[in-house]
Structure 1
Amino acid sequence: MNTTVCLPGRIGPHALLITTAAVPLTGWAVHAVALHRKLSGARRELADRRDSLTGLLGRDGYTTRARQITDRYGNAALVVFVDLDHFKQINDGPGGHTAGDRVLAATAARLTAWAGSRGAVGRLGGDEFAVAVRIGPARRELRLAQLSALLAQPVEVEDGVLVDVAASIGAASPDVLGTTDLSVLQRAADAAMYAGKHTGRAVLAGPQHATVPSINGRRAGRPGTAVSGRAA
């Protein structure tokens, strides 16, 4: 049996317009939710993506984890940039790119061991790496010196063949720079790294490094606080 419901009054033109618009509006809302979920999934996929050679976090994943570390630990956080010196010579040497790949993999393993399970280590591209880790001011100098010595150890690229390795290291911390802004910390660490290029020592950024103009993060900074380490 059909049931008819009678509504009092007339349906005006404005009410009809609202009723007609309700269906497409609902459709757009569903579409927006689906799009948001798809974009969120894509962002998570980027964040979880690993570098195929070293197994380290890619740039997006590293950035996400580094922000979490600096926000959580504040003045006890440390951001470190690492660049391998004379890496092109290794790639152009007798072992070729195979030797270069083994040096990159060994560097990644050393950085991961140094940072520990709660640190974030990423490969930014080529022979450039970044680390975000919790290290308080009292232990900072010792730990950076340890990192310098660790990265300067030769790498075995094939049976019995060792390749000398050297790395430039720059570090930045919120307590020195007065901010937990990751972009500021990274710019300062990058400038400090170039200020200490080829010295074999880690350089801790001062406030002046945060204001060094850069193009893609690549312009040498002014001298900073050098932390003793093994010479390259």
Structure 2
Amino acid sequence: MASTVRVQAPIGQRALFITTLAVPLTGWTVHAVSLHRKLTVARRELSDRRDPLTGLLGRDGYTTRARQITDRYGDSSLVVFVDLDRFKEINDGRGGHAAGDRVLAATAQRLTAWAGSRGVVGRLGGDEFAVTARIAPARRELRLAQLVTLLAQPVEVDGGALVDVAASVGAASPDVLGTTDLSVLQRAADAAMYAGKHTGRAVLAGPQHITVPSINGRRAGRPGTSTLGRAA
């Protein structure tokens, strides 16, 4: 009888000890699952956050969608960077910030229409935009020429006045650069855009644009670029 008690007591103590441990462990598991869900929701909300002026995705949301496009369509994808020329003159001119806001909103609408349902457009900041879309290599030259012409159309601002606008356009494609890495494509498109600044042409990046050094935080263009399309 006494030996039975001695055997059962340690087993009961161990069971009690394990149960005692299980309570906080279970609590931490539930907490971890809840925290993971909250973080997932927060990331999704951040990714879907829209610029209030243009309705476009911000940098994070755009990057996520753009990477999906380049990964899925490969050589048939195109990354485009757009920067409005002389935007400061518009913003500081007679129409003021209201005119500048109207130009930004119109540019966003034009880029969205150009990208179509298989593309994504983002506002990177200020008057800088990015587009990633499914565009076959055979149609690339025509589509970029259409984009330059579209962006050069005057924008109607308050009072019915027309404001002349123009944009610098740089593009990069996986088949030319040999990679679908979005960061590489964006770096090359940015360099190509600055190589063609104020030329009225879209510049298609070549391998040389991947290693272009930066000046004042921005990448500087080099000679020997390929230009496509002429603004109207």
Matches within 5 A, 1:150-229: 150-214=150-214, 218-223=218-223, 224-229=225-230
Offset of 1:214 from its aligned partner? Answer: 3.5
Letter aligned with residue 25 of structure 1: L
For residue 10 of structure 1, give the secondary structure of its aligned residue in structure 2. Answer: helix
Q: Structure 1: any 5+ residue segments left out of the alignment?
A: 1-6
User: Residue deviations 1:147-205, cap 9 Å, x none?
Assistant: 00110111111233111101010101111111111111111100110111111111001
Distance in 1 between residues matched to 2:34 and 2:79, nearest whole Å: 36
The offset of 1:137, in angstroms, is 0.7
Which has more helix, going by share of residues? 2
The aligned amino acid for 1:126 is G
User: Aligned AA for 1:29?
Assistant: T
Q: 1:132 to 1:93 in 2, by over 3 A?
A: same
**8 Å contact kept, 2:213–2:220:** no
Q: How many residues align?
A: 225
2 CA distance for matches of 1:142 and 1:8? 85
In structure 1, distance between residues paired with 2:153 and 2:107: 10
Say what the alpha-carbon RMSD is for the aligned residues. 1.9
Given that 1:190 and 1:217 are in contact with CA atoms closer than 8 Å, whether structure 2 keeps it comes out as no
3-state SS of 1:11 partner: helix
Match of residue 103 from structure 2? 103
Rounded Cα–Cα distance in structure 2 between residues aligned with 1:47 and 1:165 = 30
Q: Tell whether 2:24 aligns with 1:24.
A: yes
TM-score when normalising by structure 2: 0.91
2:231 is aligned to 230
Q: What CA distance in whole angstroms lies between the structure 2 residues aligned with 1:24 and 1:141?
A: 63
What's 1:4 paired with? none
Query: Could you list the runs of 5+ residues in structure 2 that have no partner in the other structure?
Result: 1-6
